[in-house]
């Protein structure tokens, strides 16, 4: 089982990796897709920390670094809301994204230099259990937003509409392919029932059709790859 601190660091790494792909010279479609990926990842990450990690830290420490983290989350969420309301061709789109990333980098630096090392000292016996809680809650948060996740990944691809549609379909397939392993844990039952409804093939198929009009045979082959 992965500890909660390792998961938080992996989330940080993922967001930074997506940000490093971002360039103002990219097409509006690609920039919008990358921005959407960043926003969704940060929204889910922030909610996981607020629901699981910060309460655990408050139990063992009345630390200033925890107190200032949640207001920083609110600032980040406000920038995300602004960014989501802008078209990628808007003059303020790039500026808002870079301001968002500046806030995120500052927040990540504080967590990785102060808060996470402290958690590894003060929550040693709980880190894996908290990691399990975070994994289960992450799947609950992501499942209803899978079309949004797929759309962001599809837009951010540079290989044309066919590859974009493939990316959209395979994101759903990736989540669905986890189900057998997840069923081994008894308390995943109700959650997986909800997730399966959210990841119905018809939703992914509708998305593929919108990206590949007239390519019925290719759509069928892609859908055949889903579990």
194 in a structural domain = yes
Distance CA 205, CA 223 (A): 7
Residue 223: pLDDT over 60 = no
* 79 plus 174 within the same structural domain: no
Helix (H, G, I), strand (E, B) or coil at 65: helix
53 in a structural domain = yes
pLDDT of amino acid 50: 96
| Residue 80: CB atoms within 10 Å | 22
Segment 152-187, tens digit of pLDDT: 777 776 554 444 444 544 455 455 444 444 444 444
Share the mean pLDDT of the chain. Answer: 79
Concatenated DSSP letters for 194-223? Answer: HHHHHT-HHHHHHHHHHHSTT-HHHHHHHH
Residue 200: pLDDT over 70 = no
152 in a structural domain = no
Mean pLDDT of 22-28: 93
pLDDT of amino acid 216: 55
* 108 plus 164 within the same structural domain: no
* 38 plus 111 within the same structural domain: yes
Mean pLDDT of 66-86: 93
Q: Tell me which of 94, 120, 145 is where a domain ends.
A: 145
* 34 plus 84 within the same structural domain: yes
DSSP 8-state code for residue 89: T
* 136 plus 169 within the same structural domain: no
Q: Tell me which of 145, 171, 195 is where a domain ends.
A: 145
pLDDT of amino acid 85: 94
Global pTM?
0.69
* 98 plus 19 within the same structural domain: yes
154 in a structural domain = no
26 in a structural domain = yes
Helix (H, G, I), strand (E, B) or coil at 42: helix
* 116 plus 179 within the same structural domain: no
Mean pLDDT of 143-152: 82
Distance CA 134, CA 7 (A): 8
Residue 119: pLDDT over 50 = yes
Mean pLDDT of 56-60: 93
pLDDT of amino acid 72: 93
* 141 plus 180 within the same structural domain: no
Domain count, the chain: 2
153 in a structural domain = no
Mean pLDDT of 1-27: 93
What residues contact 167, with CB distance under 8 A and at least 6 apart?
Answer: 150, 153, 154, 157
* 79 plus 34 within the same structural domain: yes
Residue 174: domain span: 159-227
151 in a structural domain = no
Segment 26-37, tens digit of pLDDT: 999 999 999 999
Using only C-alpha atoms, the chain has a radius of gyration, in whole angstroms, of 19
Q: Tell me which of 145, 177, 202 is where a domain ends.
A: 145
Identify the residue whose tokens are 């998305």: 207
Q: How far is CA 131 from CA 47, 126, 134, 136, in A?
A: 14, 8, 5, 9
* 119 plus 218 within the same structural domain: no
Distance CA 133, CA 139 (A): 10
pLDDT of amino acid 213: 52
92 in a structural domain = yes
* 21 plus 84 within the same structural domain: yes
* 39 plus 85 within the same structural domain: yes
């Amino acid at each position: 089982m992965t500890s909660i601190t390792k998961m938080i660091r992996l989330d940080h790494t993922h967001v930074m990796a997506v940000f490093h792909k971002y360039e103002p010279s990219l097409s509006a479609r690609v920039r919008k897709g990358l921005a959407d990926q960043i926003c969704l990842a940060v929204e889910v990450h922030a909610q996981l920390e607020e629901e699981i990690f910060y309460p655990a830290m408050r139990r063992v420490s009345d630390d200033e670094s925890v107190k200032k983290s949640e207001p920083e989350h609110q600032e980040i969420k406000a920038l995300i809301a602004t960014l989501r309301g802008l078209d990628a061709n808007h003059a303020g789109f790039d500026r808002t994204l870079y301001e968002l990333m500046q806030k995120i980098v500052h927040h990540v630096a504080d967590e990785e230099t102060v808060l996470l090392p402290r958690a590894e000292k003060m929550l040693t016996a709980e880190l894996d259990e908290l990691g399990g809680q975070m994994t289960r809650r992450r799947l609950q948060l992501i499942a209803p937003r899978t079309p949004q996740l797929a759309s962001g990944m599809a837009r951010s691809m540079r290989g044309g509409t066919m590859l974009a549609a493939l990316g959209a379909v395979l994101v759903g397939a990736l989540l669905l392919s986890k189900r057998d392993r997840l069923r081994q844990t008894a308390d995943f039952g109700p959650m997986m029932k909800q997730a399966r409804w959210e990841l119905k093939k018809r939703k992914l198929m509708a998305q593929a059709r919108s990206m590949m009009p007239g390519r019925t045979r290719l759509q069928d082959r892609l859908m055949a790859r889903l579990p």
